[in-house]
Every structure is written in C-alpha cells, then in structure tokens.
Structure 1
C-alpha cells in the first residue's frame, strides 16, 4: 500500500471519522431533546451535564492523573475558551437542526469549521505550528463551499415562517 494511502487506514483517521459521524447524531438528538424539554437551552445544559458525567466516569476508569491546574492558570487566556466554544456549539445544535434540517446544519458547521481551521493553521494561532494557506488548501475549502451551495440549491428550502414551530406548546395544552 502506498505511504499516502496507509495514512487513510490509520487509527487516528478512523477515530476522526467516528467523531465526525457522531456530530449529526448529537445535533438531531439534542434538537429532539430540546422539543421534549420545552426549550433548546435545557437540552444544551442537559447534554453538557451528560458529557460531564461520561467524562468524569472515563477519567476514573482510566485513572487519569490529577490535572495541573496551577500550570493551566499561569498559561495563556485562550486555553479556557474551548468550554465556551463547546457550549455555544451545543446550544446552536439544539435549535438550528429543527429549522435548517440536520444535513444543512452540518454543512454550515463544516464550512465554518474548515474556514476557521484554515485561518488557525495559517496564522499558527492557539499555540499551533503555522501551516500557510496555499492553493490546494483554498481549493479544498471552495469545494466544500460549493457542496453547501449545491445542497442549498437542491433542497427546495421552505421559508422558516412556513416550517412547524417545534418548540411551540402542543395544541391540546393551549385549549
């Protein structure tokens, strides 16, 4: 197998694909949970609490060493924005899929992720090694943007005002 193809069969690549495949599942389940709980923000909070429980249990099972909180507190301020970013994403993923559809939501998320990642790489932000933008990388982003445009064009989008309000009270509860 050529060296470039062997990378595709690597464990990190497989785990990244698995992680990516869970994102639409997370969005769809959080959207449904938001409807069941009565508001998308309750679903976001519930999702993050479940994440806290799962990660806490994983840390205990794997016997992960105590964190170096003092070292982290003395580090750059931006080390702490991951939690804020996660909370914003989870909150958006609880109500936007019901309005956009899961596929549309994920396509917009992908475009945002790839553009932001390209900028982070180019400027070497957040302590990463700079990987300058070049024509093939820009072409890759443009292909993803084209995919988004084609998908939107082919979706025959229903205006949001004509879509059902999934957070509205059931008709029986209004009577």
Structure 2
C-alpha cells in the first residue's frame, strides 16, 4: 500500500489530496509521513498544484475573463488553463471580489441596446452615488483623524456633539 500510494503521489502532480481521494486508504498524516520517508527531496508539503513563486497574472486575468464570459463551462475553462475549477473561482474572488457574479453574460430579459434617456438617467444616478461616497469617505477620514488624537470616539456610538465636530471639520 505504501509503495502504491507514493508512486501515485509522484505520478499525479505530487498532490496529497488527489492521492487520498483516488486511493482512499491512507490518511493525510500517514501519507505525508510515507512521502517524506520515500521522497527526501520533498522538504515541504505542496497544497494543490505546484505553482511558481508568483502566479502568472496574465493567466489569472484570462481565466477570470473566460469564466465571466461563459462561452464554455467553468470546468472546461479550468481544464484549458491547467487549474482546478475551485482555483478559477478563487481567482475571480481575488480580482473581482466575492460578491461579483461568476457569469456576466446578459440575461435574455436585458436588452443589449438601451435608449439614450435611460443611459443619461443611469449616468446621473451614478454621479450622485459618487458624490455621496466621496462625502462619506471624507467623513470617515476625519473621524479617523479624531480617533488617532486619542479622543476615544466610537464610530458606532457618536454623540450629536461628535457629529457636529465632524461635520464642521468637513466644511
């Protein structure tokens, strides 16, 4: 069993998890001990696929673009890039955030061409959001400065007096 497990480990990307899944019998600790004894060149454990020190950014970006475009399934995209499907979704979370949809393909309900009035309305709404967020950011910066001065203000329990100080500082 030991020889079969170590041989499978060597032949399949040196992945402990894949070896355990395929063979079913060695536990992680046992398999790791066998590998360290039979493969002394393996000084550290490798989790997942063995990547170079830095992930290729171009590969990550290409994978996320293909995933979001949904020209093919996530599994097919992952196989084409030589990574697992989970890695592809992790890249999407790193680049776009966890709340970005995995598919940005337009739904049938959406019209690909919006009328000019709707676009102008949307631009104005976005401008208002930007103004509001800038004000909010400045308020938080000022609150942070006050907190750094040691006045022990809790942002969640600001009194009216503290709010007035912050608003006046913004003016």
* Fold-level similarity (TM above 0.5): no
Rg comparison, structure with higher value: 2
Per the normalisation by structure 1, the TM-score is 0.22
Work out which structure has the larger RCO, using CA pairs closer than 8 Å and 6 or more positions apart in sequence. 1
Q: Which structure has greater helix proportion? A: 1
- TM-score scaled by length of structure 2: 0.23
